[in-house]
Chains A and B, each alone.
Chain A
Amino acid sequence: MILDDLFLDFKIEMAESVEQSEIEEKSSGVIARISEKLSEYIFYSFDTFKGFIAFTLISLGVLIKKFGKAKCVIYPLIQQQIRRCGVSLLPIVIFLSLALGFLVVGQTVALLSRFGVKDLAGVLMVAAVVRELGPIAAAFIIMARVGTAIVIELSTSRALGEVETLEALGIDPVHYFVIPRLIGVISGTISLTVYLVIGALLSGYLFAFIQDVPLEPWEYLKQIGDALIWSDFLLIFLKACGFGLIISVTACYYGLAKPLNLNMISKTATSAIMQSIIGCVLLDGILIFIYFVMLS
């Protein structure tokens, strides 16, 4: 009996240890798989980043080298892209500036007045709308409306053999496809940022006025004017240029340079937008950091 009990105990212990080792094996297998996937993802991201940097440098090289070349073909394409990234997006930008004005400026000014610190309105507006929300909101609109479209149309052009055709005709595909989009998106981001900021500040005051906030228009404008310094203009310009560059190059890179698989176009467009968002937010952080270092 004792032997039987001992044997049973031994069997239970053995079963437990086997179970334990199986769990350990399974968990180590899961960890191995996770680390494998992670390393694959890191390599893929590094590869994409490397390709993206190379593509950016090639595009900028072509922009400088072929500046002013083939005007009668390239200039209409640039105009078309500026219309698409700037003029045709004005209605949505006006709508968004009204919304921003109401949500941020109108409410903030009303709140500040209630607490008797309405003098801070200008400083807050410049920090929130001019430095931050204006450029990033304009970039997001262009990303959603134009960035996705660029990925899809360039992928389709590749699938239809248009890149090969351009090469056969001695035309640089980067010059024909990328440069007009690069210039269009960058100039569109800059101009839409300006319209968005001006629209938000004006509509914000309008909403504050509707709420009977005792703040005179010239006082409001004076506060904003006093809060703005020359480096704010430089910061907005750099942000808009940088965001435009990131959006256009990412979209063109995914549309033209990545291996093509037609059923992957929608996924590719999503990846391009996600990477544009990450790129813009990172650039925003870097520029704000430099701005504050410069100020201090």
Chain B
Amino acid sequence: MSNEESLAVIELRDVSILSPRTTDEIIARGINWSIYENDFWVVCGLSGAGKTALMLTAAGIQKPAEGDLFIFGKNIKYLSEDELAGLRLKIGFVFEGRGNLFHDLTIGQNIVLPLRYHLECSAKVAKEKAMVFAEFLGIEQYIDSYPNEIPPYLLSRVTLARALITEPKILFVDNPMRSLDVSQERWWIEKLLILLKDNKNSPAKQLTTLIVAVSDLRLWINHIHKIAVLSSNGYKYFSRDEIKEDVDSTLKELLVGVFKNY
């Protein structure tokens, strides 16, 4: 069955997106976007284009100002807070920057927070599970430290572990490589690809769909299936094969040096 015939796991229909900073300013209108199972999207755009707002809206964290958002076929307009919270558990979200960690909780407590809250599992079981993800992400030695005690570049890895611990089906990762060096950028690409494609080595077996927001598209171009480009001209969507044919100015800036004709 092709993607278009199957049900979209997330669908935005004629959605207007609010700015996460002001909450009453609409930054984009008429967004139509369908995300299917097994999709690997990269959302790109220059700084301030609204990548975070689009990601927050598509993940159901920020409500659309206008239009309809369907998550697993359900219109969130008609869902209660509890139903929406239940749906959100199937969606992991990695926040940009320092990862919005709780600074009064240890790294381990931060990772297991959703697990302990929703499933009320014991501290021992939760810690064992946290260790699996911490080892996969190379942060196991910091499990009992507080967020201010670990190197800043590892904070977004902690957020990734926290997003994965409930074993979501869809993972949103918002600009994970901001202010990272090249080796760290490669680490992120490698780990995200394992999570999505290598079911044998991935600790998150349920994960099928990945959406990553990036500011630099060049590192991702050989791995992605679909690209959403945000620019002053609006939102555009491409499959990977269509990129070379497009002459969008934002894409040109984001892919400078990758293709000869750019």
Contact = CB atoms under 8 A, between A and B. Distances in A.
Interface residues of B, number: 26
A169 B95 contact: no
B197 interface: no
B123 interface: yes
A160 B118 CA distance: 23
Interface in B55-98: 56, 59, 61, 81, 85-86, 88-89, 93, 95
Interface string B96-123: 0000111100000000011011101111
A162 B100 contact: yes
Nearest to A171: B117
The listed residue with most B CB atoms (<10 A of its CB), out of A162, A167, A176, is A167
B114 A171 contact: yes
A168 B120 contact: no
Interface in A164-196: 164-165, 167-172, 176
B121 to A, nearest CB: 8
Contacts of B81: 172
A116 interface: no
A71 interface: yes
B56 A73 contact: no
A251 B100 CA distance: 23
Contacts of B169: none
A70 B162 CA distance: 17
The listed residue with most A CB atoms (<10 A of its CB), out of B20, B61, B117, is B117
A91 interface: no
B88 A168 contact: yes
A182 B259 CA distance: 59
Contact of B88 (A72, A73, A160, A169): A169
Interface string A59-72: 00000000000111
Given A168-B88, A172-B85, A73 B95 contact: no
A72 B114 CA distance: 11
Nearest to A62: B81
B88 A167 contact: yes
Contacts of A176: 117
Interface string A11-33: 00000000000000000000000
A71 B95 contact: no
A164 B102 CA distance: 12
Given A160-B100, A162-B100, A162-B102, A168 B116 contact: no
The listed residue with most A CB atoms (<10 A of its CB), out of B118, B123, B166, is B118
B116 A73 contact: yes
Contact of B113 (A167, A169, A172): A169
A264 B123 CA distance: 39
Contacts of B123: 72
Nearest to A66: B82
B60 to A, nearest CB: 9
A79 to B, nearest CB: 14
Interface in A28-83: 70-73
B120 A72 contact: yes
A70 B118 contact: yes
A176 B113 CA distance: 11
A78 to B, nearest CB: 14
B105 to A, nearest CB: 10
B85 A171 contact: yes
Contact of B95 (A72, A161, A170): A161
Q: Which 9 pairs between the two chains have the least Cβ-Cβ distance?
A: A170-B85, A161-B100, A165-B100, A170-B88, A169-B114, A168-B93, A70-B117, A73-B117, A170-B89
Given A164-B20, A169-B117, 7 more contacts: A70-B118, A165-B100, A165-B101, A168-B93, A168-B95, A169-B162, A171-B117
